[in-house]
A and B are shown apart, each in its own frame.
Chain A
């Protein structure tokens, strides 16, 4: 203990000239464990270590569904970490209301987050009762269809430009022994893919009516029935995926064993890590090539309320480091996500990211289900769609149950 204090004191004197008076070890928990994600999080750690503090990595494997319960019980159980990842939106809502999270409004005002964070809805998702509780680090959008150019070449068909062409090309892919659409077995993947289908095929207004206003009539109506028909296609096309994790499914696309995957832009990190080039080895279609609107979900860091003054100081430093332009660029390039600042230069961005930036600049953005629905409703939706995609449930039955979930959603 004494040694550590001494080391901290020494470190503090060393970095004093840089204007930071205190240094501390800060444990940061997150669920970024796939190859591309780990490379990205190392950038954050590097930037934070450069401030003289120390990033203690607390990666929790097994995706958000496994990691979040651990994070939440550590915070509610009185063993809070220094900072933790959540998807901004409603996942940490109750923790904030219970007074367990730290108010970041001071840092935010000092650094003018209101002016630099674009689109503004990101900061709104961090704001509860007028106070800011999280630092958004990236924009992740779910609305992408990733296609393997090699797979389509093997099957002898052209790479599709939208969802309908993709469905039409499925038989050719199957004939060549390729799974047309890879969907991993984890429940959030099938539920997410369905949300994407709603937004892409029935448009922004219907999407908002269903998930924003929780209008059960629309959810039971003909517009959504169309989407369920498409989901039925997707189910047929995904037969034989037989993997669990999303990155294994992405890997099927990378190796040409699968034709495509509906997955968020975090899949891009995997393509990059495998040395593939956008436009050459793989193709990306935002909004499934039908309706290029992207949602501004993503990741944010929340800071539990700590008693230790030094660590609290370090939390402030971390919060501002995360939004530093340099960190934003380095992190998001590796992660495949879009920066939360409109004013950084992403010259090194690849084709797919440029497409995303363009849509962002046009303002074709929407709030995602993480922000619109409670974790409880999301879970019910996941149960429904993981059942739907693995069974022979009719799309009418599924739609009826979907409408029930929407009717009772909060």
Chain B
């Protein structure tokens, strides 16, 4: 009996031994690289490291300089505008496209491919394509002008006050296809009977969507939200390809500030301080939300 009990205990540990061994590399990566790297970065953001990390602490100096830098403030503002609009528009447009697609239309596969296609392109390619499309000398502006509207002016990329919207257009073009696909999958998951029931009750279609279908798609919306939000915070390559932060510093974003100060200005401390602020922003938004979303459900 005792022998059996003894054999039983290590069994707990050894159960699924293969999968445990297989996940060791990933656990190590997560702990050492993600967590360790994060802590290391935060730690060194309190030093005055230049090209190479060094341990000479300067307290909050890097953060003071960061929040006094006009370029950082512009970056934060741009990220806020870009974030809010890309969240709203990609959800709305994505859902509308999916709803239209769900009307049992012909050539659905073709349309789906067309809408999803931009997502297959990298941000760099997207950025370059839209840089050309929006270029006043051979893009939309010149095409419309050559059609006769000679005073037509559409030049977002060289107008500092609206340049961020030029980037937003490219991002939406690239990203809404994916949102549409996720939404479409969600819509297909809705039971046919619900539609039949609402039709019997004479509820108009839009009401069915807004009050019945959307609440039922909560899980899909949350997944989509996470995917869009993570794309917003790390936006970098699109800006580099489309405007490289210009004109002037009008389309700078935080991730670019981090890169430029860490590597071009050879000031690691400043770059680390900026990336720590980015992490903090994400944490402030994500932690309470995750707590409500996942923590609450477990208890309830």
Which residues of chain A have a CB within 8 Å of any CB of chain B? 65, 68-69, 72-73, 76, 91, 93-95, 98, 185-187, 242, 244, 374-376, 378-380, 383, 386-391, 401
Contact = CB atoms under 8 A, between A and B. Distances in A.
B264 A375 contact: yes
A94 B246 contact: no
Nearest to A185: B246
B249 A383 contact: yes
Given A72-B51, A95-B51, A391-B160, A386 B264 contact: no
Contacts of B69: 380, 383
Q: Describe A's contact surface by its main secondary structure.
A: helix
Interface stretch (B21-29, B116-124, B265-273, B285-293): B265-273
B267 A376 contact: yes
A376 B266 contact: yes
Contacts of B102: none
Contacts of A186: 244
A51 B263 CA distance: 35
Residue from B135, B260, B265 having most chain A Cβ neighbours under 10 A = B265
Contact of B137 (A76, A94, A242, A379): A242
A379 B264 contact: yes
Contact of B244 (A72, A91, A244): A244
Closest 9 CB pairs of A and B: A390-B248, A69-B263, A379-B265, A390-B247, A94-B51, A387-B248, A375-B266, A376-B267, A387-B249
B249 A376 contact: no
A185 B246 CA distance: 7
Contacts, number: 79
B246 A386 contact: yes
Contact of A390 (B246, B263, B266, B270): B246
Contacts of B137: 242
Contacts of A401: 70
B249 A242 contact: no
Given A94-B52, A95-B51, A242-B137, A391 B261 contact: no
Nearest to B163: A390
Interface of B: 50-52, 69-71, 135-137, 158, 160, 244-250, 259-261, 263-267, 270
Contacts of A185: 244, 246-247
Contacts of A378: 265
B91 to A, nearest CB: 32
A287 B108 CA distance: 66
B266 A387 contact: no
Q: Describe B's contact surface by its main secondary structure.
A: loop
A124 to B, nearest CB: 21
Nearest to A244: B244
Nearest to A91: B266
22 contacts: A68-B263, A72-B51, A72-B263, A72-B266, A76-B51, A94-B266, A95-B51, A185-B244, A186-B244, A242-B137, A374-B266, A376-B266, A379-B260, A383-B69, A383-B70, A383-B71, A386-B246, A386-B248, A386-B249, A387-B248, A391-B248, A401-B70
B52 A98 contact: yes
Nearest to A64: B264
B265 A76 contact: no
A105 B267 CA distance: 29
Given A73-B263, A242-B135, 7 more contacts: A76-B52, A98-B51, A98-B52, A185-B244, A244-B246, A380-B265, A387-B250
Nearest to A184: B246
B248 A388 contact: yes
B270 A376 contact: yes
A390 B249 CA distance: 8
Nearest to A392: B160
A397 to B, nearest CB: 10
Contacts of A244: 244, 246
B48 to A, nearest CB: 10
A390 B261 contact: no
A43 to B, nearest CB: 29
Contacts of A65: 264
A35 B223 CA distance: 49
Contacts of A72: 51, 263, 266
Contacts of A386: 245-246, 248-249
B136 A242 contact: yes
